[in-house]
Amino acid sequence: MVKKQVILAKVGSFGSAENVQTITLETLQQIEKNFKGNVPITLDLQGHPQKEVLNYPKFGEVSNIWIENDVLYGLLDLQPVLANAIDNGFYNSWSIGAKLNTENEYYLHHLALLGEMPPAIKEVRETILKELEIPQNELNLSDFENDIVFIFSK
């Protein structure tokens, strides 16, 4: 799997006068609190994933999310073929799907990759939905699939 860090959403009001979307810090905090991991990454078909299509291949998942300075970040685990498609410009933006749970709080339902379809919130193409560099000098235990034994010496 290829890892990519992205900005998923941020606090503010976006969109046109006819379609204003407001994201509050409380919304982001609910999404973070209700995150259970392994949220699917889908390819967007005509605006959003269609309920009738239930057999998407597994292209990847959002494995972690966190908030810093009113911004919701996500760590994506992508199949190499999809990471390559993103790197080559086939998917240049994405959109999150946040839904309400039974407690009437938001949770991250999916991340939809957008190709020729622009995001509903036009401003985010340049400001929110961008890939972040993952520092190469960091090592996370989640990067390993098998047991790791650390031996400490003087």
**What's the average model confidence in pLDDT over 25-50?**
83
For residue 56, pLDDT over 60 is answered with yes
Q: Which runs of E-coded beta strand occur in the chain?
A: 2-10, 12-14, 21-23, 39-43, 60-68, 71-78, 93-100, 106-114, 131-132
- Go through the chain and tell me how many residues it has: 154
Burial class (CB in 10 A: 0-12, 13-18, 19+), 31: buried
Q: Tens digits of per-residue pLDDT, 10-20?
A: 898 877 777 78
